[in-house]
Structure 1
Amino acid sequence: MPEPTRAAALAALAELWEQGCPIAAPDGRDRLVDVGLRRWHSFHRRHPRNGQPSREAMIRDLVRGLVEAVEPEPRLVGRLVKDYECVAEAIAATADSPTRKP
């Protein structure tokens, strides 16, 4: 993945942490970004029959991937999923940024 995109995603998660998002903690941030960007960019390969999926579908898929990668018991996440949604939105925004370099 391009380093500017990764750096932007790390900065976005640092901002979420400052705003109180417990999922964006410094000790797990690198892993969240790496897993998140990889999952975001592999969506079409993993879902070839989806045609033109909605951004919401892609965000839901990203949330699921982040939860599965980070949580020891993904089924027990509960309300914490809202924090994963914020993290997913931030990662997706940096991955889709028109200023990023290929």
Structure 2
Amino acid sequence: MSEPTRAVALAALTELWAQGCPIASPDDRDRLVDIGLRRWHSFHRRHPRNRQPSQEARIRDLVRGLIEAVEPKPRLVGPLVKDYECVAEAIAAAAASPLRQP
């Protein structure tokens, strides 16, 4: 993963935290970005049959991966999933930003 992409994702999560998103905590921010970018870039390897996934499908997959990695009991997340969706969208936007290097 490129450092500019990581920096964009970290800045996005910093902004989410400032807006009140409890998932984008400074304590977990680095871990969320690392997990999120790794999950985003491994989508096609994990889903080889889905050659042209929608952005929504990739974000749902990213949300699922973040929840599984962070939450001790993923099935109990409930309404907090909306905050994970915000984090996933921010990471996805960073991964697709023009600063991204191959």
Instruction: Name the TM tier (shorter chain).
Output: over 0.9
Deviation per residue, 1:65-94 (Å, 9 max, x gap): 000000000000000000000000000000
Q: Which residue number in structure 1 is paired with residue 45 of structure 2? A: 45
Query: How high is the TM-score relative to the length of structure 1?
Result: 0.98
Q: Which residue number in structure 2 is paired with residue 59 of structure 1? A: 59
Deviation per residue, 1:15-63 (Å, 9 max, x gap): 0000000000000000000000000000000000012010000000000
Please tell me the residue identity of whatever aligns with 1:89: E
What is the Cα deviation at residue 98 of structure 1?
1.9
Provide the rounded CA distance (Å) in 2 between the counterparts of 1:58 and 1:88.
9
Query: How high is the TM-score relative to the length of structure 2?
Result: 0.98
Please tell me the residue identity of whatever aligns with 1:54: S
In structure 1, the gaps of 5 or more residues are: none
- Show the 5 A alignment for 1:69-88: 69-88=69-88
Provide the rounded CA distance (Å) in 1 between the counterparts of 2:28 and 2:46.
25
Percent of aligned positions with the same letter in both sequences? Answer: 83
Query: May I ask how many residue pairs the two structures share in their alignment?
Result: 102
Q: Which residue number in structure 1 is paired with residue 93 of structure 2? A: 93
What RMSD over aligned residues (CA atoms) do the two structures have, in Å? Answer: 0.6
Q: Which residue number in structure 2 is paired with residue 32 of structure 1? A: 32
The structure 1 segments of at least 4 consecutive aligned residues displaced by more than 6 Å after TM superposition are none
Please tell me the residue identity of whatever aligns with 2:26: P
Q: Which residue number in structure 2 is paired with residue 19 of structure 1? A: 19
The structure with the greater share of residues assigned to helix is 1
